[in-house]
A and B are shown apart, each in its own frame.
Chain A
Amino acid sequence: MQKTNNLLFLIPLLPLAGAFLNLFVWRLLAPLTGKYRQSDSLTHTTAIASVLGAFGLACYLVGVPLWKQYSAWHALGDARPETMGGLHQHLWTWIEVGSLKIDLAFRLDTLTAVMLLVITGIGSLIHIYSVGYMHGEKRYPAFFGYLNLFTGMMLILVLGDSLPIMFIGWEGVGLCSYLLIGFWFEETANADAGRKAFVANRVGDFAFLLGICLLFYATGSVDFADLQRPESIDALKEVFWGGERMGFYIALLFFIGACGKSAQIPLYVWLPDAMAGPTPVSALIHAATMVTAGVYMIVRMSFLYAHSTTAMAIVAVVGALTALFAAIMAFAQTDLKKVLAYSTVSQLGFMFVGVGVGAYTAGVFHLITHAFFKAGLFLAAGSVMHAMSGSGDIMKMGGLRKYMPRTRWSFLIYCVAIAGIFPFSGFFSKDEILAGAFGAGAEGWGPVLGKFLWATLSIAALGTAFYMFRLYFLVFGGELRCDEETKSHIHESPYSMTVPLMILAAFTCVIGVIGFPHLLDDKKELILPTYLHDWLSSTVVDFGRESLLMANGTSSIPESHLSNTLTIGLMIGAFAIGLIGIFTAKAIYGRGPSEKVAAMCETGNGKAIHNVVLNKFYVDELYEWSLYRFFRGAAKTLHEVVDRFLIDGLVVNGSAWLIDRGSRGLQLFQNGQLHRYLVGVVVGGALIFYFASSPKVSFDYKQLNANEVEFTPDFSSLTTIRGGLDAKGATITFDLDSDGEADFTSEYHPQKPMKVKWTFGGAGKYKVSMTMTDAVFDEKYSVTRTITVKDLAVKGGVK
């Protein structure tokens, strides 16, 4: 059903063009207008216009052509094909080598549509917000240029129709993340944070790349549509290594890639540090879009994960542990953005549990709602920090509700949503994940795994509600705790910053309607509409059905639809958990920092636990000791031994030294002294003459039997030098009994190799001489050898 649409390429191209204009063109044109640098209004107009253009185009493409296709597909009922195809645009063939063919092609299907709207929609708001936030920044054009570049790359990531194209976007957003985290690189800590993000991402990216290679090795294809053909799926099912399927290893490698990009254990360490970047960057890249790329990728590859329940279990367990530990780490943080960063890690963990248990819709749903409320939280945090003269220390805030009402109300809405309070969006999405985890039971998972995931997530959700409202009460509740200097500057942020906050808050309130829970009436019809699920089902593989196919009709089909009572019970439970978290936070932090907690953190076990949590379980230190030092030591050794000694010392300088000394020696020969040259010529000529005219003669012998020996004269040196003419006349004599008399005489002829046979008296040593007489100069050359005649009878017994 896929349709060609020629407008797709414009969606990523617009932000990329904006980046190009802001980074290169305007800068070069600025002198023409008589100014030293491009004007700020031109910069942000370009940036915002390009993203808004992409947003408008995305809205049109999703709303008109894709919607039409979806309606037609949906109307087919049970006869509809498994996937819809969406809109497709093939630009050109990028690489074609052997059987590898990579097209630069874009596809807009329902999953991509969701991501597109989130990226361009929230992206536009954050661009607008940045106008106020980055006001007066020295590198204003660079900031907007990077932001645009990021948006373009993210759009390539979600639009790409094959893994390599996706990988381009994947790397592109990593680059922009690095550039923007280290945007204020004058401070070493910021530059280090950027580098840390880049390196941690690199680990994941490499695994992702390996996964692509392995997938190509297994199936011979990297194109999403090709990969879903039955023959490719069969290749994924083949046992590869250690009894596991090919699909498991590919899925695992992809998940490591997702861990890097989406900050999961063990690669999450970069995200909290990434808060060194400007706040709009944290909102756009490190909350709403880039960090969700891993979730998107796993959903995109759902057909692959469906064929390895082991890989899915790993995804879900890692996600659940990340959700829990990140939530715990958020308790002790005192920096506004750090709390939000750990919250992001935790929420991403929720998403991974969602996709890990096969509740892809739930994962994507939480991705959407999280994008709204977490982007909003960051923007609100930026607004607060803007008011507090740039400081993010929540211990020095408090009582801000009086000063910045718009920010406060938005913040409260986001907090309520993330805590999972009905009817805000976070409630629905989080509940769907919890329900998915509770009902999970894929083949080979055992009965407790789903319950374990559910319990872990529930604790994490309790923690989420608690730390978010701890944050809220410390920032907005109680009394102001800052100094007078800061206090005099507190003000509500300009409308360019608060309007995006309000828009995001509005969406946070209502976006939950797209994912009502699955409640079935007696006729097995849905009571409430489930828009997102229907919308995504045209793209994402239905895990239940795939498992059914996998199990080949045998038992253990997962029950993806829980009963109504259970569903509602879980919802009430989740709601209660949220309320408990909120009221606990209010009880402890309602009037500012709690002295009780502070006292608890100062003594005994409380202090130890607090230290561990405050230091983030010492994971950074662990990495430093286990990886950083190890690699550093190895690199140092390699540097000293291989680089400095072998390459620099022996190869580079050594060869130079050798050439230098050698040429000094050779210099003696080219000294311009004609006489010395001539001495060389004469001496050399004399030497050649001497060696050429002193023949060496010899002979070989071989024992034929008991006493008989055969001699073969050898004067090859003679014949080669003098030529046949002289040697022809030579006379050969052998003296075989050492009496000085010739026993054998013959004239040598080069064409007739001569052999001499002689019978000795018995075993023993004999002295044999051969003499060659030169016919021309009448000179004799003779050679004498002692030969051994062996007693063959004794040794061999025969002959």
Chain B
Amino acid sequence: MSVFYDITVSHFLVLAAALFTVGIAGVLLRRNALIVMMSIELMLNAANITVLAFSRGFAGNNHEAAYQGQAFALTVIAIAAAEAAVGLAIVVTVFRTRRHSDIDRLTMLKN
């Protein structure tokens, strides 16, 4: 039963994969733009967990490699924040003009 107390890199990877799958499912299946954006945040964070897990699990005494992974994760968080700000602004604007935020009905650019 070591899996319950001996937490390895694989556990983090499984968690990240689960989160990523939830995110993808959210993006693909939900229509509300707000929910889609939240799902994207989930996927980004899944990626962050993967990066950090590898960084902690394999870098060992190689500090440079460890910091690379953590810096990568911080960059992703920053960009995710920016993306969320812009995305939310767009969603709000769309909602104001259309009175909905259903991405399936936002097909002005079709064809």
Contacts and interface: CB of A to CB of B under 8 A. Distances in A.
B110 A670 contact: yes
Contacts of B31: 675
Nearest to A670: B111
Contacts of A675: 28-29, 31, 103-104
Nearest to A671: B110
Interface in B59-111: 103-104, 106-111
A674 to B, nearest CB: 5
B27 interface: yes
A682 B24 CA distance: 8
A682 B43 CA distance: 12
A753 interface: no
A244 to B, nearest CB: 72
A674 B110 contact: no
Interface string B5-40: 000000000000000000010011101000000000
Interface residues of A, number: 10
Contact of A672 (B24, B28, B110): B110
A387 to B, nearest CB: 79
A464 B22 CA distance: 111
B109 A672 contact: yes
Given A679-B28, A682-B24, A682-B28, A673 B111 contact: no
The residue in A670, A671, A678, A679 that gathers the most chain B C-beta atoms within 10 A of its C-beta is A678
Nearest to A667: B111
Contacts of B29: 675
Nearest to A685: B24
A484 B28 CA distance: 104
A674 B103 contact: yes
Nearest to B58: A776
Given A679-B28, A682-B24, A674 B106 contact: yes
B27 A672 contact: no
Interface residues of B, number: 13
Contact of B104 (A667, A673, A679): A673
Contact of B107 (A667, A673, A678, A679): A673
Contacts of A672: 107-111
Contacts of B111: 667, 670-672
Nearest to A686: B24
B34 to A, nearest CB: 14
A679 to B, nearest CB: 6
A673 B29 CA distance: 12
Interface string A636-674: 000000000000000000000000000000010011111
A678 B103 CA distance: 12
Nearest to A674: B103
B35 to A, nearest CB: 12
A678 B104 contact: no
Contact of B28 (A667, A670, A678): A678
B109 to A, nearest CB: 6
Interface string A549-574: 00000000000000000000000000
Nearest to A672: B110
A667 B110 CA distance: 9
A670 B104 CA distance: 13
Contacts of B104: 673-675
B56 to A, nearest CB: 16
Contacts of B106: 674
Contacts of B108: 672
A426 B62 CA distance: 120
Nearest to B33: A674
B27 A678 contact: yes
Contacts of A682: 24, 28
The residue in A667, A671, A674, A678 that gathers the most chain B C-beta atoms within 10 A of its C-beta is A674
A92 to B, nearest CB: 60
Interface string A682-713: 10000000000000000000000000000000
A675 B27 CA distance: 8
B5 to A, nearest CB: 23
A672 B106 CA distance: 8
Nearest to B103: A674
B102 to A, nearest CB: 10
Contacts of B107: 671-673
A678 B106 CA distance: 15
A677 to B, nearest CB: 10
A673 B106 CA distance: 8
Contacts of A674: 103-104, 106
A667 B103 CA distance: 19
Contacts of B27: 678
A342 B11 CA distance: 112
A725 to B, nearest CB: 11
B69 to A, nearest CB: 14
A670 B103 CA distance: 15
Contacts of B24: 682
Nearest to B29: A675
B87 to A, nearest CB: 13
A675 B110 CA distance: 13
B29 to A, nearest CB: 8
Contacts of A671: 107, 110-111
B65 to A, nearest CB: 11
A333 to B, nearest CB: 75
A672 B103 CA distance: 9
Nearest to A679: B28
A679 B24 CA distance: 9
B12 to A, nearest CB: 15
A670 B107 CA distance: 10
A671 B29 CA distance: 17
A674 B30 CA distance: 11
A630 B110 CA distance: 57
A667 B109 CA distance: 13
Contacts of B110: 670-672
A454 B43 CA distance: 110
Contacts of A679: 28
A591 to B, nearest CB: 93
A674 B37 CA distance: 13
B103 to A, nearest CB: 5
Contacts of B103: 674-675
A673 B107 CA distance: 7
A565 to B, nearest CB: 102
A190 to B, nearest CB: 59
Contacts of A670: 110-111
A522 to B, nearest CB: 107
A682 B107 CA distance: 20
A681 to B, nearest CB: 9
A777 to B, nearest CB: 11
A675 to B, nearest CB: 6
A682 B28 CA distance: 9
19 contacts: A667-B111, A670-B110, A670-B111, A671-B107, A671-B110, A671-B111, A672-B110, A672-B111, A673-B107, A674-B103, A674-B104, A674-B106, A675-B29, A675-B103, A678-B27, A678-B28, A679-B28, A682-B24, A682-B28
Closest 4 CB pairs between A and B?
A672-B110, A672-B107, A674-B103, A678-B28
Given A670-B110, A672-B107, A682-B28, 11 more contacts: A671-B110, A671-B111, A672-B108, A672-B109, A672-B110, A673-B107, A674-B103, A674-B104, A675-B103, A679-B28, A682-B24
